[in-house]
Amino acid sequence: MIKAVPKPLEEIIDLVKDFHKVLIVGCDGCVTVCEAGGLKEVQVLGSSLRLYFTQAGQRMDIDETSLTRQCDQEYLDQLKDRIDHYEAVVSLACGCGVQYLAERYHDKIVYPGVDTCFMGVDLERGVYAERCQACGKCILANTGGICPIARCSKRMLNGPCGGSEKGKCEVNPEIDCGWQLIYDRLKILGQLDRFEQPVDPKDWATSRDGGPRKIVREDLRL
């Protein structure tokens, strides 16, 4: 899932300080799971902002809501009857949700309330780690289920590099060497012979090198 972290309160205060009616919109999807932008976080942010502006003597009406997803038009439509009451909206969704909300209500000022970080997994509550970079051409079948694009700092296809030491990456000793992980896993699977065949250069056109991407699934369209 997409992982995000809440923006510092000071940054959000600075964004909304010139308005008097602000709506905070959460997302019940990924950002709820990583406790950055769900209904609970919306309520905490709303209450914190009300406390701040009250003690500062500034009139500020802050309302709160959360949508099932902000990356779908039908859920964004649920705001259509009320969004005009507000001068600005703070979206606690990931970057996709913030943009889609701004696109749907293009004359409304929309600010992000979280910093979107990566696609990853929950190692434990409050600890998230990157696992996929959405390169558009999955090679996990050949790498023991461990992605060298996401897990190797250099995105090497024929690793490890000379910077791998005692299973750790030279970029940061807290990072596991992705290729060490791949080697260990292939050894367990009895597939070490995969190392005997060099991997051809990757076609990055399916990744960001091909510009902003779009999927069109004709089989799903009406």
Partner 1 sequence: MGRFEPKILAFCCSYCSYAAADLAGAMRLQYPGNIKIIKVPCTGKVDLIHLLLAFEQGADGIMVAGCLEGNCHFLSGNLRARQRVNRVMAILDRIGLEGDRLAMFNLSAGMGARFAEMAREMYAQVLKLGPSPINIARETAARPIVEVAA
Which residues bind to partner 1, rule: CB under 8 A? 9-10, 13, 40, 43-44, 47-48, 50-52, 54-57
Please identify, using beta-carbon distances, which residue of 41 and 160 lies nearer to partner 1.
Answer: 41
User: Which of 10/219 has CB closer to partner 1?
Assistant: 10
Nearer residue to partner 1 within complex by CB, 10 or 74: 10
Q: Could you give the CA distance from residue 21 to residue 127 in angstroms, rounded to a whole number?
A: 35
Q: How far is the CB of 150 from partner 1 (least distance, A)?
A: 30
Which one, 54 or 68, has the nearer CB to partner 1?
54
The least distance separating partner 1 from the CB of residue 1, rounded to whole angstroms, comes to 22
Helix, strand, coil % in the chain, rounded to nearest 5? 35, 20, 45
Q: Phi and psi of 187, rounded to 5°?
A: -65, -45
Q: How far is the CB of 113 from partner 1 (least distance, A)?
A: 14
Q: Considering the complex, what minimum distance in angstroms separates the CB of residue 67 from partner 1? A: 19
Q: Cα dihedral angle (214, 90, 74, 217), rounded to 10 degrees?
A: 10
Give the integer Cα–Cα distance in Å for 82 and 101: 14
With left for phi above 0 and alpha for psi between -120 and 50, is residue 6 left, alpha or beta? beta
